[in-house]
């Protein structure tokens, strides 16, 4: 009885790690695509800042009609387009996180439905090739939390960006980079390494 | 050139329609070329600004190190080298601006050609123009108007670029340098309506499928 439950739980866990591995790749690609956009935003903010500081009337550019407004408009357009592309990438991140979240909550539901047949010994027993059920559930939960937090933090950062606050925009690339937690990423990598034999077993 | 005796190079368009269609293609190609030159120039302009900033910081450190004659000699050698580099880049940028001026003169010629076509039509069909449009819907004078609008924006842009070229290496104000660079890159006088005009021109003349 218990052994069949354990084996179907193992199947669920395998599938979860499969989903985690696939969506981690999606996540990393989308995140890599964000970086140049963030640095573009930082760059444009510097340009807008410079435009704000310069009195065009006192420069050789004084004879060009509406230059300040036109340049400001073009720069704002460039910010908008970068933010638009970032929003698309955020959607990709969101989808990756959702896929991971769905799968992890499915495996937890399965576990909770079957707690009466799964005794402690079955949950904590492990072998050379197969980590214990409790460890694997923990790794999945940690990974899911990592992506959930990352998404919230990154989204919050982007939501604070407005063309009126140039300092926020200028510092955005640095703040974006500082959200990267190698500890969180490593935990996911470690988890995937630790289940690599388990994934290959039938 | 009378309309009936000029066989089209491509297809069977002749006379005014042939000329207008060719001009539309030329607009497209010239603008593409302009964009390429703009990117090229932007890279050069950025280099010029960076060299200028380096020079300035070198000069400042020269003042600080006045005591050490050896170091100062080293600096003047550096300075000479960076001046030479600066000059080379300025020549390159001048070259880009010259090429852009060349493109603009081709644009100007198209505008005057199309005005000529309008005049020809007024002569042939009277003030009202031809009864049937040459392509889909545009009356002939609309081609001349579109060309002239596009030409005006590029003309203003070239004037701006010429000013930037003259001033870029001589400004010590970092903010102003930045404004020069972004004005060069973002081309404030070429707006989205220009893109729309070009696309509608290409659509009207059949370069873009309806």
pLDDT tens for residues B44-101?
999 999 998 887 777 766 655 555 555 556 667 777 888 899 999 999 999 999 999 9
Position B63 in a domain: no
Contact A37, A169 (CB under 8 A): no
**Minimal Cα–Cα distance from B111 to chain A, Å?**
23
Which residues on chain B place their C-beta less than 8 Å from a C-beta of chain A? 156, 159-160, 163, 166-167, 173-176, 178-179, 181-183, 186-189, 191
Q: What is the pLDDT of residues A52-73, one digit of tens each?
A: 999 999 999 999 999 999 999 9
Contact B155, B149 (CB under 8 A): no
Rounded to whole angstroms, the Cα distance separating B36 from B32 reads: 6
pLDDT at B158 over 90: yes
Mean pLDDT of chain B: 87
Query: Which site among B157, B158, B174, B179 would you substitute to test the A interface, given the most A Cβ atoms closer than 10 Å to its Cβ?
Result: B179
Cβ of B182 within 8 Å of Cβ of A51? The answer is yes
Any idea how long chain B is? Answer: 210
**Is the CB of residue A62 less than 8 Å away from at least one CB of chain B?**
no
Position B146 in a domain: yes
Position B210 in a domain: no
Position B21 in a domain: yes
Q: State which residues form the domain around B17.
A: 11-39+92-204
Position B173 in a domain: yes
Cβ of B189 within 8 Å of Cβ of A70? The answer is yes
Handedness of CA B47, B50, B56, B62 (dihedral sign): negative
Position B64 in a domain: no
Contact A93, A31 (CB under 8 A): yes
* Residue A201 pLDDT: 82
When pLDDT is averaged across residues A123-134 and rounded to a whole number, the result is 90
The count of structural domains within chain B is 1
DSSP one-letter code for B9: S
Position B162 in a domain: yes
Position B34 in a domain: yes
Q: What is the pLDDT of residues A31-55, one digit of tens each?
A: 999 999 999 999 999 999 999 999 9
DSSP one-letter code for A148: H
Burial class (CB in 10 A: 0-12, 13-18, 19+), B127: exposed
* Residue B74 pLDDT: 66
Q: Using alpha carbons, select from A6, A92, A48 the residue that is nearest to residue B183.
A: A48
In this structure, what are the phi and psi dihedrals at residue B68, rounded to the nearest 5 degrees?
-85, 105
Query: Measured in whole angstroms, how far is the alpha carbon of residue A179 from the centre of its chain?
Result: 10
What pTM was computed for the model?
0.82
Nearest to B176 among A54, A73, A78 (CB): A54
């Amino acid at each position: 009885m218990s052994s069949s439950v354990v084996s179907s739980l193992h199947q669920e866990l395998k599938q979860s790690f499969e989903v985690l591995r696939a969506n981690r790749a999606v996540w990393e690609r989308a995140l890599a695509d964000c970086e140049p956009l963030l640095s573009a935003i930082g760059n444009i903010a510097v340009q807008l800042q410079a435009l704000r500081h310069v009195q065009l009337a006192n420069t050789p550019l004084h004879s060009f009609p509406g230059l300040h407004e036109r340049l400001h408009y073009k720069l704002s357009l460039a910010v908008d387009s970068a933010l638009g592309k970032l929003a698309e990438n955020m959607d990709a991140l969101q989808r990756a996180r959702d896929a991971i979240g769905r799968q992890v909550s499915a495996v937890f539901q399965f576990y909770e439905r079957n707690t009466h047949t799964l005794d402690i010994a079955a949950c904590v027993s492990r072998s050379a090739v197969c980590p214990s059920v409790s460890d694997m559930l923990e790794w999945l939960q940690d990974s899911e939390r990592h992506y959930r937090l990352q998404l919230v933090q990154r989204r919050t950062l982007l939501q604070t960006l407005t063309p009126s606050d140039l300092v926020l925009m200028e510092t955005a690339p640095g703040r974006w980079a500082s959200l990267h937690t190698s500890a969180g990423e490593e935990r996911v990598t470690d988890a995937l390494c630790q289940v690599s034999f388990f994934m290959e077993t039938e | 050139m009378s309309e009936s005796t000029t066989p089209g190079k491509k297809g069977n368009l002749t006379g005014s329609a042939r000329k207008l269609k060719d001009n539309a293609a030329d607009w497209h190609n010239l603008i593409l070329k302009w964009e390429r030159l703009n990117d090229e120039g932007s890279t050069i302009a950025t280099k010029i600004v960076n060299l200028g900033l380096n020079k300035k910081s070198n000069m400042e450190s020269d003042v600080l190190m006045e005591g050490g004659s050896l170091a100062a000699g080293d600096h003047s050698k550096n300075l000479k080298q960076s001046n030479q580099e600066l000059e080379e880049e300025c020549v390159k940028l001048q070259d880009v601006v010259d090429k852009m001026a060349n493109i603009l003169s081709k644009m100007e010629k198209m505008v005057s050609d199309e005005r000529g076509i309008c005049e020809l039509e007024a002569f042939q069909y009277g003030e009202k123009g031809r009864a049937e449009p040459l392509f889909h819907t545009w009356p002939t004078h609309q081609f001349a108007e579109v060309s002239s609008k596009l030409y005006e924006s590029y003309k203003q842009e070239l004037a701006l670029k010429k000013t930037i070229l003259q001033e870029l290496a001589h400004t010590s104000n970092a903010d102003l340098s930045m404004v020069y660079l972004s004005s060069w890159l973002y081309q404030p006088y070429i707006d989205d309506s220009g893109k729309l005009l070009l696309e509608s021109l290409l659509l009207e003349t059949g370069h873009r499928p309806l």
